[in-house]
Structure 1
């Protein structure tokens, strides 16, 4: 939706590929996570001095984010995956429908950005493993990873990975 545009500057990014599928089909087989990851990672590797190494390394992060979407989606509607590239970053965006419960547990009042791990300001960790996962992926890959509201009943996971090949 136009009104619910991401806070991230998409203007600097050139679209590479997008894939959309029915959530029920996506959730019908866990192996779709691996297959979609492999497809997207191969595309991310294009243009690098060692495409297989870059694609293989980023496939770990992409797979974790796709599996997070697999677990979080409510099973209705469409899930979309897209890749875009800027001069310094590669962006993976996953948007999918979710129940009201997910944003309510993870979003601060009045915010469009999900705060992984906090339950309505109570300070109780309710998704400690997912919050730790996102934090660890961001640190290991030097990525900026955010979860935002994407329409009334959808969320988007946006991950910007540096296009430099100097992973640690």
Structure 2
């Protein structure tokens, strides 16, 4: 196999690996956002139920209504059940773990972009060394990261395929740059 053909195969392999990293990175971000939403809803529910329970208790003290004491008691039981169910879940910690994974994958993603950019300037041996280092880094992140779910993967797939979430058009980049750094078309 000649050098050009082998370089092309390396490029294909590296592009595919880059794609997998981008998908995993985006999936971790989506999973993390889903967990944040779940945590926010849980906290809001707990606050609401605590307020209803406390308000119901205070109302029974001052108004002496049996219905209010029943409502207050039922709401307190619901709140207790929710608290018991979620006592072993640490959503904040899980959010942090996904944030760490996505941060590490972001750096690897950027290194893949740099490798693809530099491929024509590097020898085949240099490319293989960098590729192997990146594969090891990805493997380490995957083995130490929490798992995601199919819902987050589908959200990532939609974001990448339909919304160009991880990419910019040239015009978008130009709008973010100072005028002297913009591409002149």
Q: What TM-score, normalized by structure 2, do the two folds share?
A: 0.24
Bigger radius of gyration:
2
Which one has a larger percent strand, Structure 1 or Structure 2?
1
